[in-house]
Amino acid sequence: MSLPQYDRLLLLSCAALHEGAYAKAAQDARLAISLDPSFDAHVSLGSALSALGDCVGAVRALLHAMELAVQRNAHEDYNFSAVTAKVFVLLSRAECAREPRPSWWNEPTLRKYSAAAVGRTPDHMYAWVMRAFVLMRHGITQVEWNGRSVLEEAEDLREARRCWQQAAKLATDSGLKEDCMKRAVECLREAKRLEEC
């Protein structure tokens, strides 16, 4: 018995992603979306576009996937959290600076989503990176941050340090691993400085 066309295309897209054939993965994902604009097909497209260096296209596909998950009340699971972390990291890049921010791009929701991401997807480096950046309040444009005491900021920086250490453990690229460890050291240094004030 043959698979329905949508399922076959989604499997082909996932296989192409795994093999590094990103243009083929994107093509098959687009065909799958034309049959059923599902969460999985949009995630596959977003992953392929990200690998191809199309940051804006990847963000748009992944945000659409998130919207679909929210509509179907499937936004409290592993896949949603993994996609949220990926979108956050992509939106933090310079090439996506002009992309509109999603409705959840505010301090309370970023804190909530980043905590959920590390809780639900502890094996994803992007989840730890997202959490660290949110705790540091660093490099996140178009967010109005609430005032926090010096001790609260120091506490957040100590937690951010742990997040960078975890991201370093999960990083497969040596340059990325080193960058995460440097950021962990910087967080600890800044936390100590604040505690001494």
**Helices assigned H by DSSP within the chain:** 5-19, 22-35, 39-51, 55-71, 78-91, 107-120, 125-136, 150-170, 174-196
pLDDT at position 142 is 83
Q: How far is residue 23's CA from residue 6's CA, in Å, rounded to a whole number?
A: 18
pLDDT value of position 3: 62
Q: In this predicted structure, what is the pLDDT of residue 13?
A: 96
> Tokens at residue 158, please?
């100590």
At residue 197, the pLDDT reads: 77
Report the 10 Å Cβ neighbour count for 73.
Answer: 7
Q: Are 3 and 11 in contact (CB under 8 A)?
A: yes
What structural domains and CATH numbers belong to the chain?
1-75 (1.25.40.10), 99-197 (no CATH)
> CA–CA distance from 86 to each of 3, 34, 35, 192 (Å)?
30, 24, 25, 30
pLDDT of residue 1: 35
Contact (CB, 8 A) for 123 and 78: no
Entry pTM: 0.88
Spatial separation of the C-alpha atoms in residues 38 and 10, rounded to whole Å: 10
List per-residue pLDDT tens for the chain, 197 residues long: 346 999 999 999 999 999 999 999 999 999 999 999 999 999 999 999 999 999 999 999 999 999 999 888 766 788 999 999 999 999 989 999 999 999 999 999 999 999 999 999 999 999 999 999 999 987 787 888 888 899 999 999 999 999 999 999 999 999 999 999 999 999 999 999 998 87
One-letter amino acid identity for 54? D
